[in-house]
Amino acid sequence: MRAYQVVEHGDPSSLQLNKVADLVPGKGQILIGVRAAGINFPDVLVVSGKYQVLPKRPFTPGKDLAGVVLSVGQDVKQFTAGDRVLSHVEHGAFAEQALVTPEQTFKLPDALGFPQAAAMGLVYQTAYLALVDRGQYRKGETVLVGGAAGGIGLAAVQIAKGLGARVLAAVRTSEEAAFVKNNGADHVIDVSGSDLKDSLRAQVHAATGGVGADVVLDPLGGEFFGAALRAMAWCGRLVVIGFAAGEIPSLKANYLLLKNISVCGLQWSDYRDRAPKRVEEVQADIFRLWRVGAVKPQLMKEYPFNELPVALDLIGQGKVRGKAVVVMDVT
């Protein structure tokens, strides 16, 4: 089979597309023929060597895959050859085959295609758990989403709206504004200006009658983090998801006391490893939201397998709206 491998860490062009031995499922494993793989910002960090979990090289990166079960190992009862599935993995998705476990694998609804399924992996799980579990969202609250036109951001907009929130979507361009409005955002917050510290709060207060945002989902860090703190409601909750803006911000703890606010973090892979039952529940509800039309993966482009480095480079530059996926050369 063909697989992209990190032999030496570097930019996306450093990935090597190699021929490697076909995989064989061991006890408790499932062999999947990959049909589509989601592309995420953490993949860029993994390739560059800047991610917190890095396996021994050479290895195949990629965290989201959708495909068909080819065979199962001993003791696997839940799946059988021919099942259409989605799987969340730490690495290994950017290949024609992948070995996964039943705990990280979910059968697809019949009408859900492989590219759309691959786009409903890490970003939707992250957005859901950040909003509901870490952000303690309650129906009817106001949710401010940073980077709302990106993968996690757009997933958060759709999930929050599907769960009954009033959604404020932070974007940088008029094109992004139209994009998030078409995906359910109630108000657009312009974060393109130089005075973000004051302008973000002014816009949020204008949209909420001076109350502020009950929950903030922040995949950006940088300047957005500090500005969003100033725009929070009494007893508001901010969830740190990532640092796509590049800078890891700091916080003076007395600010939390003075505003009666909370700041917490979300590392999704911990849920996969420590709370697989919760991940299963979340995936079921994401599929439910898809069935009712609230979750609609927006694929900016489906890239052929040999163009994966191009897609990763665009993700790294922040030039992808919604999701990008790579599709395998199979029918």
- The answer to whether residue 39 is domain-embedded is yes
pLDDT of residue 127: 97
DSSP 108: P
Strands 105-107 and 84-88, bridge-based pairing: antiparallel
Domain stops at, among 249, 268, 287: 268
pLDDT above 90 covers a percentage of the chain that reads 87
Residues 6 and 103 in one domain: yes
Q: What is the CATH number of the domain that holds 110?
A: 3.90.180.10
Q: Give the pTM.
A: 0.93
> Is 175 inside a domain boundary?
yes
With tokens 């994009």, the residue in question is 179
Specify the pLDDT at position 330.
66
Domain enclosing residue 257, as ranges: 123-268
Judge whether 288 lies within some domain: no
C-alpha 18 chain-centroid distance: 27
Query: Is the pLDDT confidence value at 331 over 60?
Result: no
State residue 13's pLDDT score.
94
Same domain, 219 and 137: yes
Q: Cα-atom radius of gyration of the chain, to the nearest Å?
A: 20
Residue 40 covered by a domain: yes
96-124 pLDDT, tens digit each = 999 999 999 999 999 999 999 999 989 99
- Tell me the average pLDDT across 127-155: 97
Chain segment 55-81, per-residue pLDDT in tens: 999 999 999 999 999 999 999 999 999
- Strands 16-19 vs 2-5: parallel, antiparallel or unpaired: antiparallel
Confidence of residue 140 (pLDDT cuts 50, 70, 90): very high
Residue 321: the pLDDT is: 83
Provide the domain count of the chain.
Answer: 2
- Interval 83-97: pLDDT, tens: 999 999 999 999 999
Residue 167 has pLDDT above 90, yes or no: yes
d(CA 26, CA 9): 29
Instruction: Give the pLDDT score at 52.
Output: 84
Q: Residue 248 above 60 pLDDT?
A: yes
Encoded amino acid at 270, one letter: D
